[in-house]
Amino acid sequence: MGWVDEDGYLYLTDRKSFMIISGGVNIYPQEIENAMIAHPKIADVAVIGAPHEDMGEEVVAVVELAAGVSPDDGTAAKLIDFERSKLSHIKAPRRVDFMDELPRHATGKLYKRVIRDRYWQQP
Closest CA relative to residue 36, chosen from 24, 45, 25, 27 = 45
CB 43 within 8 A of CB 66: yes
Region 1-13: what's the mean pLDDT? 68
Closest CA relative to residue 70, chosen from 91, 33, 38, 41 = 41
| Domains of the chain (ranges, CATH numbers) | 16-120 (3.30.300.30)
- Work out the pLDDT band at 42, boundaries 50, 70, 90: very high
- pLDDT value of position 18: 72
Look up the pTM and report it: 0.81
3-12, 29-38, 113-122: segment of lowest average pLDDT: 3-12
User: How far is the C-alpha of 88 from the C-alpha of 64, rounded, in Å?
Assistant: 23
Interior angle at CA 73, CA 69 and CA 77, nearest 5: 90
CB 79 within 8 A of CB 96: yes
* pLDDT digits 0-9 by tens, 82-101: 999 999 888 999 999 999 99
